[in-house]
Amino acid sequence: MTNSGSVHRSHAGLLSFGGMIVTLCMFSGCERQDDHQVQGYVEGEFVYVASPLAGSLETLSVQRGAQVAAGDPLFALDSTPEKAAKEEAQSRLNQARATLEDAKKGKRPSEIESIQAQLGQAKAALALSEKDLARQQELARSGASTPQDLDRARSTHDQNREKVAQLEADLKTAQLGSRPDQIAAAQANVQALEAALAVAQWNLSQKQQTAPQAGLVFDTMYRQGEWVPAGRPVVALLPPENIKVRAFVPEPQMHALHSGDNVQVLVDGVQVPLAGRISYLSPHAEYTPPVIYSRENRRKLVFMIEVTFDPQVAATLHPGQPVDVRLGS
Tell me the per-residue pLDDT of 59-73, one tens digit each, with 9 for 90 and over.
999 999 999 999 999
**What mean pLDDT do residues 120-140 have?**
85
> What CATH class is the domain 33-45+240-326?
mainly beta
User: Between residues 213 and 143, which one has the greater pLDDT?
Assistant: 213
How high does pLDDT run on average in the chain? 83
Angle of helix 109-142 relative to helix 147-176, nearest 10 degrees, comes to 160
- Report d(CA 243, CA 307) in Å as an integer: 9
- List the one residue out of 256, 283, 253, 277 whose CA is nearest residue 265: 277
pLDDT on residue 246: 93
Q: What is the pTM of this model?
A: 0.65
| Cβ atoms of residues 160 and 129 within 8 Å | yes
Does residue 328 surpass a pLDDT of 80? no
pLDDT on residue 315: 87
DSSP 240: G
User: Between residues 20 and 127, which one has the greater pLDDT?
Assistant: 127
Weakest-pLDDT range from 79-83, 275-279, 313-317: 313-317
Q: In what order do the strands lie in the sheet with 208-210?
A: 208-210, 73-77, 55-60, 227-228
Predicted confidence band at 5 (pLDDT cuts at 50, 70, 90)?
very low
pLDDT on residue 122: 86
Does residue 192 surpass a pLDDT of 90? yes
DSSP 253: G
Q: Assign domain 47-80+207-238 to its CATH architecture.
A: Beta Barrel (2.40)
pLDDT on residue 47: 96
pLDDT on residue 19: 41
